[in-house]
Amino acid sequence: MMDQTQRAPQTRVRERVVNFGRSTPLTGVLSYRSAATARRSPCVVILNAGVVRKSGPNNLNSFLARRFAENGYTAFRFDFAGVGDSPNRQDRLPLKEGVLQDITECLDVLEGLCGTREFVLLGLCSGADNGLRAARVEAGRVVGLVMLDPTVFRTKRWYLVKVWKRAASIDFWKSLVLLRHRWIGLMRDRVRGREPVACDLARLEEPELYTIGLQDRREISECLREVRERGVRLCFAFTGGWSEIYNYRTQLFHVYPELHLKEDAEVLFFPEASHTFMSDAHREALASALLRWLEGDHSQRLEPEVPPAIRAVSV
């Protein structure tokens, strides 16, 4: 029997546009295998990363959706209202609640299209935070949650690891010897009586979809505790692109020691990968790891096939 984590180039992946939404017309793409082959549950729903359209940063969402489809899982990626191919909200819901409404309507339409009530939400960065918020609301249908570089917090060990890595860097010592390190520049400016240029981060505004996620450690801990108690499986992945916040594999366990995440949460660590998995090798590694995680609980469950006549659908 073929290892499900390996590429299956002979497998045909089909994709269809799906238009849905009760108050705001939303657009998504359904990726699935040929109707001649059985599918597995659950359906994987991939969320927007901030204001990046449904293809994802550097087409990461498209790549993952097709890899899941090649291995028998139906995957769906769609645009929140106001992103990509979906127009601005046409109801009066605040953006934070509107995103949750979009996800609920997405699951509703997928139930009818795919014949399943089990879903895995996957998101990068703010998409991961929105996925956690949605899993809390939709715990009856969301059976798994994949969070790629979500909001996380530094620990004491994070600072020790940062100092150790810096001390082990040849470039660091070279910049000191050659008097090129920024510390040298700051000391030189002080000696000359120059004030350092301040950067007011509060004035650097981010698009709203980057700021509606979860920011408070206690709130995130409560969300994680609640979704785990409802049986939602958790998978986290952290990259080297997140190293200014997360720089060693087990950091998550130390951020939330009260949750004992080590008991059942999957934590993947890609220290050489960029935040958006720009390298083909890192994307393949991520896809293979996520497929192994999916197989851990769902490998024996089959779902009805996608009807071969399915096409652009408006609901």
**Polymer length of the chain:** 315
Angstrom distance (rounded) from CA 179 to CA 176: 5
Tokens at 122, concatenated: 């996957």
Which pLDDT score, from 0 to 100, does residue 180 have? 56
Domains annotated for the chain, with CATH where assigned, are: 13-155+214-314 (3.40.50.1820), 157-201 (no CATH)
Which pLDDT score, from 0 to 100, does residue 165 have? 77
Please answer whether residues 15 and 309 qualify as being in contact, where contact means their C-beta atoms are separated by less than 8 angstroms: no
Which pLDDT score, from 0 to 100, does residue 179 have? 55
pLDDT band at 213 (very low <50, low <70, confident <90, very high): low
Angstrom distance (rounded) from CA 57 to CA 61: 7
Would you call 285 exposed, middle or buried from its count of C-beta atoms within 10 A (0-12, 13-18, 19+)? middle
Which pLDDT score, from 0 to 100, does residue 303 have? 42
Percent of the residues in the chain that have a pLDDT greater than 90, as a whole number: 64
Which residues in the chain belong to E strands, given as ranges?
13-20, 26-33, 39-46, 73-78, 119-124, 142-148, 233-239, 266-270, 302-303, 313-314
Angstrom distance (rounded) from CA 304 to CA 307: 9
Angstrom distance (rounded) from CA 286 to CA 146: 11
pLDDT band at 192 (very low <50, low <70, confident <90, very high): low
Bigger pLDDT: 178 vs 42: 42
pLDDT band at 209 (very low <50, low <70, confident <90, very high): low
Angstrom distance (rounded) from CA 39 to CA 36: 10
Q: Global pTM?
A: 0.81
Bigger pLDDT: 164 vs 182: 164
pLDDT band at 109 (very low <50, low <70, confident <90, very high): very high
CA proximity to 294, closest of 235, 224, 225, 227: 235
Bridge partners (DSSP) of residue 18 are 28, 313
Please answer whether residues 307 and 11 qualify as being in contact, where contact means their C-beta atoms are separated by less than 8 angstroms: no
- b/e string for 214-230 if b means 16 or more Cβ within 10 A? beeeeebbebbeebbee
Per-residue pLDDT of 271-300, as tens digits, reads 999 999 999 999 999 999 999 999 985 434
Bigger pLDDT: 1 vs 238: 238
Which pLDDT score, from 0 to 100, does residue 164 have? 79
Please answer whether residues 67 and 287 qualify as being in contact, where contact means their C-beta atoms are separated by less than 8 angstroms: yes
Per-residue pLDDT of 47-92, as tens digits, reads 999 899 999 999 999 999 999 999 999 999 999 999 999 999 988 8
Bridge partners (DSSP) of residue 17 are 29
Which pLDDT score, from 0 to 100, does residue 309 have? 39
Bridge partners (DSSP) of residue 43 are 119
